[in-house]
């Protein structure tokens, strides 16, 4: 909802936005559990092997992760094209204002500058979002498939 309000590129929302974002990812991917349970109960007659649960969860996870990744690209490329440069400046400022030694700050800034091309690339960020959500979903898939298996 932050992006709908136009505040998605406001640095004052970055910390809370990150927490909200991860919460939404976990809650969304918890639906994998219900997808596996629904399939077990309605389509498989209450019987579910672990491998079937993993297959159902992984398929659901791929679709959801793909949607997260694609939305991220659309958001950064079209809806808020100034988000990535604003966030990069915010991130840089956080490094510069940290309580680390001057050497550690200089090293982090050098690394940041070397990777800024990726940092500012919406497609790369979309892939990172896909991978992050997929990993969360994979963990939930494995737990749910184990918890819901009947054979």
How far is 112 from 98, CA to CA, in rounded Å? 14
- Given this model, what pLDDT does residue 6 score? 53
Asked if 137 and 69 count as a contact pair (C-beta separation under 8 A), the reply is no
- pLDDT tens for residues 46-61? 999 999 999 999 999 9
Name the residue with higher pLDDT: 30 or 151.
Answer: 30
Q: How confident is the model at residue 105 (pLDDT cuts 50, 70, 90)?
A: very high
The mean pLDDT of 96-104, rounded to a whole number, is 96
- Given this model, what pLDDT does residue 21 score? 85
Asked if 140 and 33 count as a contact pair (C-beta separation under 8 A), the reply is yes
- Given this model, what pLDDT does residue 38 score? 97
| Residue 120 exposed, middle or buried by CB count within 10 Å (0-12, 13-18, 19+) | middle
- What torsion do the CA atoms of 73, 77, 83, 87 make, to the nearest 10 degrees? 60
Q: How confident is the model at residue 8 (pLDDT cuts 50, 70, 90)?
A: low
- Given this model, what pLDDT does residue 1 score? 43
pLDDT of 5 > 80? The answer is no
pTM of the model: 0.85
- Given this model, what pLDDT does residue 16 score? 82
44, 61, 88, 98 from 101: Cα distances, Å: 59, 42, 21, 9
24, 62, 64, 69, 70 from 35: Cα distances, Å: 17, 13, 12, 20, 22
| Cβ atoms < 10 Å from Cβ of 134 | 20
Q: How confident is the model at residue 12 (pLDDT cuts 50, 70, 90)?
A: confident
Q: At what angle do helices 31-38 and 14-29 cross, to 10 degrees?
A: 10
Name the residue with higher pLDDT: 15 or 56.
Answer: 56
Kindly state the DSSP code that residue 151 receives in the 8-state scheme: -
Tokens, residue 62: 């791929």
138 closest CA partner among 74, 73, 53: 53
| Backbone phi and psi for residue 42, each to the nearest 5 degrees, phi listed first | -95, -35
The mean pLDDT of 88-105, rounded to a whole number, is 95
The per-residue pLDDT of the chain, averaged, comes to 91
């Amino acid at each position: 909802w932050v992006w709908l309000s136009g505040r998605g590129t406001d640095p004052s929302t970055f910390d809370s936005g990150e927490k909200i974002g991860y919460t939404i990812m976990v809650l969304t991917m918890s639906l994998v559990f219900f997808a596996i349970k629904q399939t077990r109960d309605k389509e498989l007659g209450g019987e579910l092997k672990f491998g079937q649960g993993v297959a159902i969860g992984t398929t659901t996870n791929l679709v959801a992760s793909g949607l997260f990744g694609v939305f991220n690209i659309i958001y950064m490329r079209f809806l808020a094209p100034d988000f990535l440069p604003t966030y990069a400046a915010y991130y840089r400022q956080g490094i510069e204002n940290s309580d680390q030694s001057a050497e550690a700050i200089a090293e982090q800034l050098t690394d940041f500058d070397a990777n800024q091309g990726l940092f500012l690339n919406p497609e790369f960020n979309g892939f990172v979002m896909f991978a992050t959500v997929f990993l969360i979903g994979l963990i939930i898939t494995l737990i749910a498939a184990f918890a819901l298996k009947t054979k």
